[in-house]
Structures are given as C-alpha cells and as structure tokens.
Amino acid sequence: MKRRSFNGLFLSPAILEFSLSNSAFSREVPIKKQRSEAVHADLPDEVSLIVAGTGGAGLCAAISAAENGIRDLIVIDKAPIVGGHTITSTGTVAAVWPELQKKQLIEDSPELMFSQIMAIGKNNNAQLVKTLTEQSGSALEWMRTLGVKWRPKVGAIYGCPHIRGFKSLNPKSGYDYVMAPLRKLKEKNVPIYLETSLKDFIIGKDERLESVLIEQNTPEGKLLKQVRAKALVIATGGFTANAELLAKYAPGQTEGMISNFNPHGNLYDGATGDAIIIAEKHNIALSHMDSIQCIPNVGGRTILESGWDIFVDPRGKRFVREGCSWQELRKAVQKIPEKYYWVITPQHGEETENIEYKLLTGLLKVVNDYKELAQELNVQLEEIRKTIDRYNRAVTGEVDDEIEIAQNARILPPPPYYVGKEQLGIHSTLGGITINNHSQVLSKSGKPIPGLYACGEVVGGLHGEDKVAGTEMTGNFVFGRIAGREAAEYLLTYKR
C-alpha cells in the first residue's frame, strides 16, 4: 500500500500520536514520533454509537462509553488532527478536590463553588452547575485513572474566586487531557476518523435517533454517507471561529476581535458551530446564544494566578482590580479609549509555558529599571513610579487605593519586569445546545430526544453570562463522562 497524506483518511488510535507530531501543534507540544502508515477505511453502514468531536469532552465521552460496555462505537472529527481546542490549552481545571486542597489547608465545598459560579454567571442552568460542582472532584480522580498525573500544588486561577486550580504535570496540560483518553481508546481498538464531519442526523417516527449523515474526505474526494446509529454524542465545540454566527447571535460584541485560540490566523480552527447550525434545523433547544466570553489572554500576561501583576492603562494608571471576574475586566477594558492595557509583572518563577514565544515575537519585553519601563509604556517616569508606589502601599495596608487590589495581591518589587500589552479576544462561546444533567439533548418543548447527547463547548446554559475560569475543562470531564455513560446505558437497554 502506498503512503498517503492524512487528508480524508481513517486513523486508527495506534497512529494518532504520529499525526500529532506532523501537525502545527507539534511546534508547541513535544510528541514522540512513531513510524506508521495512514490507512483509508470506509465508514461502517451501521454502528451503535457515534461520538462527534475529539476535544476533551468528546474523547471523555468515547472512553466513558467504552468503559461502560459499548464496543460498537466510532469517533469522528472534521479536523485533520485530534484535540480540538483542548490540546493547546494551558489546561487549568477548577474543582473541589479535598484530597489535594486539604494538604494546603484550603477549605472548599461544592456548595461554595456552586454559589460562586451562579453569582458570576447570573442566569446559569442551576441543575448543570450543581452536577458540575458535585462531580468535579470525582472527575479529576477518574482522569487520573485514565493516566493524567496531577500536580500536587493547588493554585489560584485568574477569573476564579477561590483557590481550586488543578493542572497536570505537563506545562501544556490540555495535551494530557487529550492523550490520556486517546491512549485508552487505542487499547480498546476504538476507531477514530479524521477529516470526517457531522453533517446532519435523522430522527425517526418513534422520535429516536435513527441515523447520522457524515461527510468524509477521502483520496477520491468528499463522500457523503448515511450511517445508521442508535446514539450520537455531539462534542463539536463552539463557534468562536464563525464570524457569521457571532454576528447573528451576539451582534457587535466581538467586532474587531481575534480568536484567543488562533490569534495569528495560522492554525486550523474547527470551532465553526456546525452542530449549532444543524440544531437550528431541528426542534432542538438552544440557550445563552448571546453569551460570549471575551478576555485578554494572548499578550502581556505571564502567569495564570492573580496577585502577581498589575494592570495599567496607556496613561500608566491602574483602572481595575487585578483578579476581578472576566466580565468586570472586559467592561473595564472596553471603557479605555485605546482598547488595550499594559501588564507589569516581576520575574517570579511561575511563568506560563509560552513566555519564550512571547519574548521572541515581541509580545512581551523585559525592562531592567523604571526608566525603561516608562519608555516602554510611553508615560512619564514620575507617573508610573507613583502608580507602583501607591499600589504597594495598598498591598501593605498603609493606604486604601481608589482601585481595589486583588485578595492575594503581592508587593511589586523593583525591576526587572515583564511588560506587554493585552487586549480583548474571543475566548469561548457560552451558548449552545440545551441539555439536562444526564447530557441528554432537549427539544424546544424541554423533552429529551432519545439517543442524542451533547457535552463540551457546544452546550449552552452551564456558564450563564460569564464563565468562571477553569470550569470549561471541568465541564468537559464531567459531562463528557456522563454523556458516554448515559449513552451506554441507553444502548444496553435499547429495543427496536
């Protein structure tokens, strides 16, 4: 058999790591290369379960279904590579996990996490939030059984009001959240088809899922096939890369912004809301479609925790409390005429994994004294020194600054500093398909559609108007696991 490109080909789990090594992501994620050959394979005519999407949620759903007794399943993804947005994520997860929190004397509870998410999101689906918070710790334990190795340190996440941030040992933790379930799927010989898109599905006269319409890129061209299936898990992501859908559902909110996932436009981005478009054609309920999280996340910030850095406007003055919610920060940035601000951070030893890239590309600079700092910010030396001095005095309690400081704020020591601009970018869409706490897709009448499940960013309602940092990844684990388990239970009791 001659060697082929990966376009339109079926990839068995045995060679997915090889496909990753040949991707754009390989420049950021170190991957052990394997010699292998891509084998073109036809889609089956019939299968019990189809999982659409290979991000964190989809892979969790697939392995969960397999663990619960389903052998007749396939996974599809329209991308030429597995991972979705998850694989390049820094991967901080917000959870209540006493096993590690108590070692740092951190008091936490699902009830506290619930109340904080509801307060920030404002109109969240309380049923989904309750499920998320109560199962967040067990989801991390489950991911550990899949092979994720968690860091012992629990951290504070910017945009999360409590110390409940977990990461794997890998600097790019999102890579681990993809590879752990992927390796388990390989062990169970679950086939994964790349460049294979969910195009539609058909609900039968009995109001249950009957079949799925799939388009596959092959060496011979695009092939459209209707596959009979009893269950479908939709985990195809949001619509941050679809300008038309953003304009339709959130007019004016993202004008002039770039995607935080793909700020330079040189990566494949499959977050085009395909399943949302399909759902619009059916009697499926959508919720929170105008909720878009826009955050500054690709410029001057060098640490995920709050309290280390200070934010100043183009005039060198603080304008917002560092550590505030993403929604508060978004509103504050939008009030700045120039629509950007500066982040000033001491060299602290907790730098994010992309700091070298930021320094090489000029997104971030190092200034060695206050004069260099003033020159970089293009402000008067006295002004920026006054700002830093007043901030430090507020941290020590000597004065009350007119701008509140973060709860865990630290004194900003003398230079050297990292300095860089930040501006708002499109981070995630918070609206999508409506589900219940069993991950079942709901019709507009509020009834579950038998055989249809959804999880991940394609779902709406979990986050309300604003997402608490770290909870999207938690939702991938929790509702991906639930979707797979519930689909398995449905299939094991299925009768025509």
User: Tens digits of per-residue pLDDT, 209-222?
Assistant: 999 999 999 888 99
Confidence class for position 32, pLDDT limits 50, 70, 90: very low
- Between 247 and 360, name the one with better pLDDT: 247
Residue 189: CB atoms within 10 A of its CB come to: 11
> Which tokens belong to 20?
């990753």
pLDDT at 402 over 90: no
Q: 272, 457 in Cβ contact below 8 A? A: no
State mean pLDDT over 160-165: 93
**Does residue 360 have a pLDDT over 90?**
no
User: Span 147-157, mean pLDDT?
Assistant: 93
Average pLDDT on 393-397 reads 92
CA-closest candidate to residue 74, choices 103, 41, 99: 41
CB 352, CB 90: distance < 8 Å: yes
Query: Is the pLDDT reported for residue 396 higher than 60?
Result: yes
Does the pLDDT value for residue 174 go beyond 70? yes
Beta-strand ranges (E) seen in 296-447 are 310-312, 341-346, 365-367, 417-422, 425-429, 432-434, 440-442
Mean pLDDT computed over 368-374:
97
**pTM of structure:** 0.87
Q: Please indicate whether residue 5 or residue 82 has the higher confidence score (pLDDT).
A: 82
- Exposed/middle/buried for residue 334 (C-beta within 10 Å: 0-12, 13-18, 19+): exposed
Mean pLDDT, range 428-452, rounded to an integer: 97
**Which residues are registered as beta bridge partners of 421?**
342
Residue with the bigger pLDDT between 338 and 13: it is 338
Strands 192-194 and 10-11: antiparallel
Write down the residue that tokens 């007794």 correspond to: 69
pLDDT at 30: 31
Q: Is the pLDDT at 33 greater than 80, yes or no?
A: no
Mean residue pLDDT across the chain: 89
Task: Report the alpha-carbon distance of residue 223 to residue 206 in Å, rounded.
Answer: 28
| pLDDT at residue 192 is higher than 90 | yes
Of 244-258, 367-381, 437-451, give the lowest mean pLDDT range.
Answer: 244-258
Mean pLDDT of 314-318: 97
Question: How far, in Å, CA of 401 to CA of 393, rounded?
Answer: 8
> What is the residue whose two structure tokens read 């590879």?
179
Is the pLDDT at 455 greater than 60, yes or no? yes
